[in-house]
Amino acid sequence: MTTTAGSVENGRAKAVDRHDAPDAETATSIGFVGLGHMGGNMAARFLAAGYDVYGEAQTRESAQDLVDDGLRWRDTPREVAENAEIIFTSLPDDGVLEQVAAGPDGLLAGLGPGKVWVDVSTVSPSASRALAEQVSKLGAAMLDAPVSGSVPQVQTGTLTIMVGGDSDIYARVEPILSVLGTPTHVGENGHGLALKLAINISLAVQMLAFSEGLLMAERSGIDRELAARVMTASPIGSPMLKARAALVLDLPETAWFDVGLMQKDVALALDTARQLRIPLPSAAAADQLLSVARASGYERRDLAALFEVLAHMAGSPSR
């Protein structure tokens, strides 16, 4: 299945090519709980691809643009799970995930034989595995499918998706995941999350190292924009740094991936490393600066804010 994101309205991806939309009689119904920046844009791509999508979020108002585009609103996670065959969740942390799952109105209460829960959240592998065991007892299946990429990659369907869980269940949902990007089955439950945390160590560390180098170049008298352009064109210029260089030069009010969520992921990686008894020295260094960034009021600003934090630490504000 292919779709083409042709425009963005109200912060959501809008697809214009529906030639591969699922057949109305055989289409899989999709549920989505958690319709924030990432989840909302994922749901938008599924709607644009022609799927029936049932959804729930903290408030209906926050998802009204999706409802206007055809999202079938449901009041509780349970109702979403009862109405859909494949249920996605995109949630900020372990606590919210467990809150959405539990209770009489929770997602678990709506699951049953044949249903699949695909969690694209970045949470702890241990919490995800525990939920997967509960799901299995209900006759359903759960996959952890965290994604690498931010809002622009959701909108263009170019996310990298790491999937943990049963291989046969993965084969069933792979075409659906392909609407969002490139999925890869990496192993059993929890393995997708372990790999996502491994990737996000580099996300934080690269951003910190780039910010350090850019600050040193600027304070040496080199124009900041010129330095950023040369640095991202050099061998260190990963796709992430190339995409975020503009955000470093002009920090936006709306984050692609904010400091608070980044530190949450680094903390999960450090906790996982302690369980595995392995050192993560660069992750620990990034964690320290992320703490400074949060204390300095940047918690909800994009990760690119690390440059400004370093500049202030150096004794004068960035220009």
Could you give the maximum distance between any two Cα atoms of the chain, in Å? 65
**184, β-bridge pairs:** 162
| Rounded-to-integer distance, Cα 226 and Cα 214, Å | 10
| Rounded-to-integer distance, Cα 305 and Cα 310, Å | 9
Query: Side chain identity at 10, as an amino acid letter?
Result: N
Token digits of residue 24: 């109305």
Token digits of residue 155: 């909108």
Catalytic residue among 14, 115, 137, 196: 196
Measured over the CA atoms of residue 259, residue 64, residue 149 and residue 307, the dihedral's sign is: negative
| Rounded-to-integer distance, Cα 37 and Cα 258, Å | 11
Task: Please list, in sequence order, all residues whose beta carbon lies within 8 angstroms of the beta carbon of residue 160, skipping any fewer than 6 positions away.
Answer: 147, 148, 149, 181, 182, 184, 199
- Based on its alpha-carbon atoms, the radius of gyration of the chain, rounded to whole angstroms, reads 20
CB atoms within 10 A of CB 288: 11
Catalytic (active site) residue 137: no
| Rounded-to-integer distance, Cα 296 and Cα 285, Å | 17
* Contact assessment for residue 112 and residue 141, using Cβ atoms and an 8 Å cutoff: no
| Rounded-to-integer distance, Cα 221 and Cα 202, Å | 28
The set of catalytic residues is: 196
